[in-house]
Structure 1
Amino acid sequence: MIDVDLYKAKKLYPFQEKTVSTILDELAENGVDFNLLYQLPTGGGKTVIFSEIGKQYIERNQKKVLILTHRIELSVQTSKQLSAIGVSNKIINSEVKELPNQHEYQCFIAMVETLHNRLNDDDNFIKDIGLVIVDEAHYNSFRKIFQYYQNCNILGVTATPLSSNKALPLKDNYNKLLVGESISGLIEKGYLSNADTFSYDVNLHGLKIGTNGDFTISSSDTLYSNYFMQEKLIFAYEEVSLGKKTLIFNAGIETSIRVYESFKKLKHPIRHLDSTFSDKDRKEILKWFKDTPDAILTSVGILTTGFDEPSVKTIIINRATRSLTLYHQMIGRGSRKLPNKDQFQVIDLGNNVRRFGLWQDYINWQDAFKFPDRFLESRISELEDMEFEVEYEFPKGYEKFIDTATLEAFNIKERYHLHIDNGDKGKKAVEESLENHFSVILSSAKDMDHGFEILGFLQDHIEHRLKHYTKCISKSTDNYFKYLLETYNRQLSQKIRTHIHAS
């Protein structure tokens, strides 16, 4: 549901006016080829702020502005706000193949994939751009556009300055982070509603970690679709949110459908929505949700961004996540302030508060920007990893070309403790792990090159396994882990060269 408030010009709050001036001054002082990242919590008015920045930049520099989004809803509401404040603009969607009349526009809004296709055909598709603004800048898909605008300023805007891919930190593309108002500050000044959080302990045994570092959808569906989890969800809803407009976030479609069925049996007013729905059905469901005071909407990831319904009274996180960005996006959907709403409820059914702290808690975003690995590791505590014993789940299809069953059968922690109990060195578990990985490479590789290709595929699994080993060692450090990983890969590479023939 698009934020229709953005269809008319909005008067900036004092902190928003100050932010616009600060950002424009930063860009002016540092010249072209300077990239700035700006952080502001969900609900702080990022669209209003960067629209005004675009307007004033055009007036100051007599150059055009390009705004990148990842959802069509975000493109539309940005275009509406720009039009409302007098900036002529055009949305570049899949139907726009050429721009013969681009001199008529001061600003362009584009979906990243669409623009990338146009720039592949013509790298001068949009001319005279001086500033590129990236909405939801934590998504890595935007990076592919940057190569075309190396002599421009780039302004990234996000609520959480953490890359969606830990291997591609935002500091690689942005020179500086500017931190805006904190969540607690916006609450105190009356711009956001406060969150009253209710946490229910959940046994997360059985969850597996995927290659993106978060719990997999399949293992989450298995856990959250069972009878006991459904009962806990219904109990929590009826205890905290009965009769209130409620938005439920799930990890997978299977879980959301089960939630819908369980609530429907109890005559609660509920609808289900996921990414497979048509635009017509989606609009109808969101209109029902808006117009029904005690509505319950169960969904997957489709409403984490580009959705605005201020009348939501309760957010239920019916999933576990290791993504701080997703955690803030979900809770942020309930934070919009209304004259009769200065507080909303958060029900946590995934031990997420234990993992990340309360939504309102202070976060050192500069630390997250400069040292993302250290920042994330510190928030996923050792205690939690030991408690949940999360497993690694291979991407679908891997079992077709490597023996994943042999890898899954090996437990490095069990081997470590076995050797310690027998009076041996725990490091023997690493040696056995290396032999386990190599046996799978040897049995699957057609030749040496193929062996190295398989080793590349196994990097996430190797890293995950060695991290489990370092959890067993009381004095393990980041440097030791890096040394261990490099040594492990070097020894595996030597075995491949020695025992697998070249093509």
Structure 2
Amino acid sequence: MLIEFDNTIALVKPEGDGELEMYAQVREAVKTMAPGARYMRQHKLWLQTKGAKGWDGRTSILSKPHPSNGSAFFPTGLLPYIHAELAALATMPFTFNDLRHRPQMPSYEYSVPLRDYQADAFLAAVNNKVFMGTTAGYHWPQGVLQIATGGGKTELAVALCQAIPVPTMFIVHRKHLVTQARERFKKYGIDTGQIGDGVFDPNTSGVTVATVQTLDRLFKEGDNEKIKQFLGAEQIFFDEAHLAASKIAVGNQLVSVSRQFRRAYYRFGLTATPFLKDEYSNQLLMGCTGDRLAHITNERLIKAGYLTPPRVVIIKMPDIGRPKSWPDVYDHAIVLNLNRNKRIIEELVKCPKPALVMTSRLGHASILRRMAINKGIPVPAVHNGATKNKDRTKGIADLQSGKISAIIATGIYEEGVDIPNLRTLILAGGGKSKVAALQKIGRGLRKAAGKHEVLVIDFNDQTGAILKRHSAARKKIWEEEGFDVKERD
């Protein structure tokens, strides 16, 4: 069986019924449950009829064979994984035709100072090989660089850009991260272009920071005059790459954008929390970037003294007994629960400052802000997805300087927000997602002068089975991360 691959797509060319059958077996083997399948009518019908009708809920990231010639395709990032599945089934030889565009090889020269684990991750990125049945192997400089929040992912990206001086796209998912990334690159003498947040000014020979949404729009509009100014990128970074697996729409958008950069030989995902979703979503991420190249944990960085140890205090909240449906449970036991909200404000009043209170809903954040102001805590307007970059930047600067002592924010603060001297983090919104939990707690782990720990206030909500499960899931996350965890009433 022949597999031809470039930097984005692997094309399978089966010959004869035997090879078609082998591909069909692999496609079946790597099928996973589609996210949200259990809510779909056709899957419910399949369950009700015990498979006689409807859909079993499984899907594959591998395409179906073309009816005319049997050819099929999948993202190149999955090729080593698919090869392993093929090798397990192979009763006949298969060959590879490597069609990747290859720019210059790394110089290994960079000026940004790297810690030991960053240097190890750098070498893993530039030296990675996959063998796929060969002795020499294929140079495979792509994959996920998993480094805990505060561990210096951007500095690693800067080192890679210095060592691989080719046209580069640094892709982010939120407008405020464009400014933040550009400032970090500028700190190390790299002047970047920008695509997004109303600006189109790519650096055609250097680094360009871009939002995935703007790139997706430009590709869909077919604006070739603009596209040709950045499409020659030979290296791409996906910042907060776990978002490729956060929602199918986001994952598909990232895969779609990724496929456009056919010359991008170097492909890296930067994140603290990859491969924590369902298998299909994880395959989307791997298709964009490749498999994990480095894994640097919170526990390792805390033990090494690079991050601040958290002290997690979980406060038990009693069952309020009334609501039955999930929306009512969340509204009455979390958002509108007066006793719980009072407890949040009590903890905010007495906790070390500066403090960050995080909620899942804007309405809940607004309630808490009014209660905080009534207790004499000057809290600025709630920071949320609609907050302008300049207002968010000013709020964080005021918090750092001591001009204000607390900020209340929604999920917009889960990623890409640096508040090194943060002393307290109050998790007011509940939830069970490991990705969200670790992203949130990462806001408080950065080191600062005189900071020996960060206090994390969480809640053990006892209203309804779902909130109980969510609370237990978060406690398990904290314990698995090796954090100091205590419970109290």
- Equivalent AA in structure 1 for residue 212 of structure 2: V
> Within 2, Cα distance between the matches of 1:310 and 1:285?
14
- Equivalent AA in structure 1 for residue 270 of structure 2: V
Q: 1:291 aligns with which of 364, 376, 401?
A: 401
Q: Secondary structure at the match of 2:311?
A: strand
> Within 2, Cα distance between the matches of 1:268 and 1:94?
33
Q: How many residue pairs end up in the alignment?
A: 340
Aligned to 1:495: none
Aligned to 1:82: 185
Overall identity of the aligned pairs, in %: 19
Call closer, same or farther: CA 1:203–1:26 in 2, change over 3 Å. Answer: farther
Call closer, same or farther: CA 1:299–1:221 in 2, change over 3 Å. Answer: farther
Call closer, same or farther: CA 1:144–1:163 in 2, change over 3 Å. Answer: farther
- Equivalent AA in structure 1 for residue 306 of structure 2: Y
Aligned to 2:233: 129
Is the 2:241–2:270 Cα contact (8 Å) retained in structure 1?
A: yes
Aligned to 2:450: 340
Aligned to 1:109: 209
Q: Secondary structure at the match of 1:110?
A: strand
Unaligned runs of 5+ in 2: 1-110, 132-136, 245-249, 462-469, 483-489
Normalising to structure 2: TM-score of the pair?
A: 0.62
- Equivalent AA in structure 1 for residue 213 of structure 2: E
Aligned to 1:258: 367
> Aligned pair 1:71/2:174, yes or no?
yes
Q: Secondary structure at the match of 2:149?
A: coil
Is the 2:193–2:207 Cα contact (8 Å) retained in structure 1?
A: yes
Aligned to 2:101: none
> Within 2, Cα distance between the matches of 1:232 and 1:126?
51
Structure 2 counterparts to residues 69-468 of structure 1, below 5 A:
69-93=172-196, 95-96=198-199, 102-103=203-204, 105-120=205-220, 121=222, 122=224, 124-140=228-244, 141=250, 142-152=254-264, 153-162=266-275, 167-169=280-282, 170-203=285-318, 206=323, 220-224=330-334, 225-238=336-349, 241-273=350-382, 274-292=384-402, 295-350=405-460, 354-357=472-475, 361-362=479-480
Offset of 1:26 from its aligned partner? 1.3
Aligned to 2:146: 39
Normalising to structure 1: TM-score of the pair?
A: 0.61
> Within 2, Cα distance between the matches of 1:107 and 1:290?
30
Is the 2:372–2:379 Cα contact (8 Å) retained in structure 1?
A: yes
Per-residue CA deviations over 1:382-418 (Å, capped at 9, x if unaligned) read xxxxxxxxxxxxxxxxxxxxxxxxxxxxxxxxxxxxx
- Equivalent AA in structure 1 for residue 474 of structure 2: F
Q: Secondary structure at the match of 1:270?
A: coil
Aligned to 2:18: none
> Within 2, Cα distance between the matches of 1:25 and 1:89?
26
Per-residue CA deviations over 1:143-172 (Å, capped at 9, x if unaligned) read 221221245332111110136676422344
Aligned to 1:52: 159
Is the deviation greater in 135-144 or in 86-95?
A: 86-95
Is the 2:143–2:286 Cα contact (8 Å) retained in structure 1?
A: no
> Within 1, Cα distance between the matches of 2:278 and 2:262?
22
Offset of 1:341 from its aligned partner? 0.7
- Equivalent AA in structure 2 for residue 135 of structure 1: D
Higher strand share: 2
Unaligned runs of 5+ in 1: 1-8, 210-215, 365-503
Q: How much is the aligned-residue C-alpha RMSD, in angstroms?
A: 3.1
Offset of 1:138 from its aligned partner? 1.1
Per-residue CA deviations over 1:171-197 (Å, capped at 9, x if unaligned) read 444432123222111011110000011
- Equivalent AA in structure 2 for residue 144 of structure 1: S
Call closer, same or farther: CA 1:270–1:127 in 2, change over 3 Å. Answer: closer
Call closer, same or farther: CA 1:203–1:168 in 2, change over 3 Å. Answer: farther
Is the 1:64–1:129 Cα contact (8 Å) retained in structure 2?
A: yes
> Within 2, Cα distance between the matches of 1:324 and 1:207?
25
